[in-house]
Copies of this chain bind each other. A is one copy, B any other.
Amino acid sequence: MAQTSVSSNPRRTSSRHAGLDRDDVVEAALLLVDEGGPEALTMRRLAGKLGVATTTIYWHVGSRDDVVDAVIRRHGERQAEHAVSGDTARQRVMSVARHLRDEALAHRGITRLAELHGETSVLNEHLEVAMARELTTAGVVGEDARDALRAILICVGGFLVVAMRNEAAIPPDHSRTAVWSRVDDPNVDPSTRLALTTQVDLPVLFERTVQAIVDTHVPEA
């Protein structure tokens, strides 16, 4: 257990000091990712934040991949239980889907890290369980529940990818609106071409699309 903060300890060559442990490293890494995204997590930067050498990170946690795993797991454990709302099973499932999206966007750095490492299930375990619970209550069980859960999560994931896309990093002539500004296909309605140069209302489209999927899996109450 840390008795003093790391940063207050004077640093001596090859000097051992009290207090730095694995949790300190993982917490510092989590903050780096939460604030600056996956790219902000480098071993030198993390070591600098902790006031130690990179080798200390390797000792306490391991490689960068090990640090990433630990960050995702730690954040996943922190996912708050939320009050599911709604009168019908469909509404309750939608409630969980919205919460999953909102949590993901509130911590988009961690979400992108989990996505890059294919570990979104670790991150979202509590919410996936919550959704499975609602499906059970709705009478959707077994492989039907598995398919429902997968389909909803895949769709929510698709929306997250788009919502988290850093538009500023895309060359202006490669953005969706730029691409469609150049399209001149007479078989595409002009009002469609015009509309496709404008931004879509993602939250509205999210509601409509996820609801459509929920409706095919969850019976009407």
Q: Identify which of A1-9, A16-24, A41-49, A187-195 touches chain B.
A: A187-195
Judge whether A171 is part of the interface by a CB distance below 8 angstroms. Answer: yes
| A194 to B: closest C-beta gap in Å | 8
Known pairs A151-B209, A185-B129; A192 contacts B122 (CB<8 A): no
User: Contacting A118 at CB < 8 Å: which of B118, B125, B170?
Assistant: B170
Interface size range of chain A in the complex:
35 or more
| A109 to B: closest C-beta gap in Å | 16
Known pairs A69-B174, A141-B192, A146-B195; A209 contacts B155 (CB<8 A): yes
| A76 to B: closest C-beta gap in Å | 9
Q: Is the CB of A154 within 8 A of B158?
A: yes
14 new A-B contacts, CB < 8 A, other than A143-B198, A155-B209, A158-B159, are: A117-B170, A118-B169, A119-B174, A128-B180, A129-B183, A132-B189, A132-B192, A133-B187, A137-B187, A141-B191, A142-B189, A142-B195, A150-B205, A212-B212
* 10 A-B residue pairs with CB within 8 Å: A72-B174, A117-B169, A128-B180, A132-B189, A141-B191, A143-B195, A147-B205, A157-B161, A209-B213, A212-B215
